Structure 1
Amino acid sequence: MSAQIPKTGKPVRGSKSGKPIMVLFDLLGRRWALGIVWNLSSGPQTFRSLQSNCDSVSPTVLNTRLKELRECGIVTTGENGYELSEQGRELFVYLEPLGAWSQTWSHAATKEPQ
C-alpha cells in the first residue's frame, strides 16, 4: 500500500492535527521529494533527465513523487517536461538559502573538535 498524499487537516507523519507546516514537512520528507524540487529549480526536465540528475532514482519512486508533488501543486507538466509550478518556485525561494547554509554547516561539522 502506497503512502497517501498529505492533506491539511488530516493526520500526517509527526502530527495528528495536520497543520500546514507538518503536511509540508511530511511531503518534502519523503524519499527524493526535496531532490526533485531542487533539481527542477534549474528549469524543466524530462523524466529521464530528472532521473539521471537525481542519481538514478528508481522510476517507480520518481513517478510516485512526481504524482504527489503535482497533486500538491508544487510540480506541473509543461511543454518541456516536468517543472516547478508557481507555488513550487515560491517554495524554492525559501529552500535555496538552505543550500548556502549547508555549505557552512558542512565545513564546520567536519572540523576537529577543540
Structure 2
Amino acid sequence: MSTKENAAVSQLLALLEARYAMRVLWALRDGHAQTFRLLQDSVGGITPNTLNTRIKELREAGLVSHGGDGYSLTVSGQDLLKRLSDLQAFAGKWQLGQIKKAAAPVTPPPPSSSTPSPSSPSPAGPSPSPAAPSSSSSSSPSTPPSSPPLDTAN
C-alpha cells in the first residue's frame, strides 16, 4: 500500500473507531430513515450528546445524511456497509468459536523436558517432606541418618 492509501485507511479507521460510530452506521444499514430518538434507541446506551457528536462527524465524512424522515446512510455510507457486510457472518462464526473455546475443558500443557515432573527428583536432590522436622544435618528422609561426629578433642 502506498503512503497515500495508508493515510486514507488510517483516516477512515480513526473515524470508525470513535465510540458508537460503527453502531450508528449499523443501526442505519436497513435503509430506513430514523429519527434522532429512534436512532438513539437503535444504538442503545448512547447519550444524546455523544449521538449528536457522532452524527455530526459521520455527516461531515459524507456517510450519513439528514432528511425530512430522519437520518439515513448516504450512497457512500451504503457502500461502506456493503463492504463490511461480511462482518455479520464473521461475527457469528467468531462468537461460536469463543463459546466453544470457553466450554472446552482446560487441560494442562504437556510437561516439557526442562521442567522436572513431580515424581522425579530435582537435580539438587530430593527435598524433605513437609512433615519431616527440620534439622541442621543434610540427611533426607530417603537416606539413613549419619552418626554424630566424634569428639576427638580429649
Relative to the length of structure 1, the TM-score reads: 0.81
SS of structure 2 residue aligned to 1:19: helix
Residue 90 of structure 2 is aligned to residue 101 of structure 1: yes
Instruction: State which structure, 1 or 2, has the greater radius of gyration over its C-alpha atoms.
Output: 2
Residue 82 of structure 2 is aligned to residue 58 of structure 1: no
Gaps of 5+ in 2: 106-154
Higher relative contact order (CA 8 A, sep 6+): 1
Residue 28 of structure 2 is aligned to residue 32 of structure 1: no
Gaps of 5+ in 1: 1-8, 10-16
Q: CA deviation at 1:94?
A: 1.1
CA distances 1:9-41 after superposition (whole Å, capped 9, x unpaired): 7xxxxxxx9701011110001100000000011
Relative to the length of structure 2, the TM-score reads: 0.61
Structure 1 residues 42-81: aligned runs within 5 Å: 42=30, 43-81=32-70
SS of structure 2 residue aligned to 1:110: helix
Amino acid at match of 2:44: D
Give the one of 10, 13, 18 matched to 1:22.
10
Give aligned-pair identity as a percent.
36
* Structure 1 outlier segments of 4+, above 4 Å: none
Q: CA deviation at 1:110?
A: 1.4
